[in-house]
Amino acid sequence: MSQAEGVNVQRRRVLIASTAAIGAAGVAAVATPFVRSWYPSAKLRLQGLQ
């Protein structure tokens, strides 16, 4: 099966692009709290110990 007949290449590209965009948004949503946990706490900032 070298080539499938009736494959909509444009639709395939749109689906791949939208899947990649949703995946990137998911990675950003997961990474944001993780990176924010590296920042000093408000208590330390008030003491000036950044």
1-44 pLDDT, tens digit per residue, is 456 678 899 999 999 999 999 999 999 999 999 999 988 888 88
List of residues 6+ apart from 44 with CB closer than 8 A: 50
List of residues 6+ apart from 31 with CB closer than 8 A: none
pTM of the model: 0.64
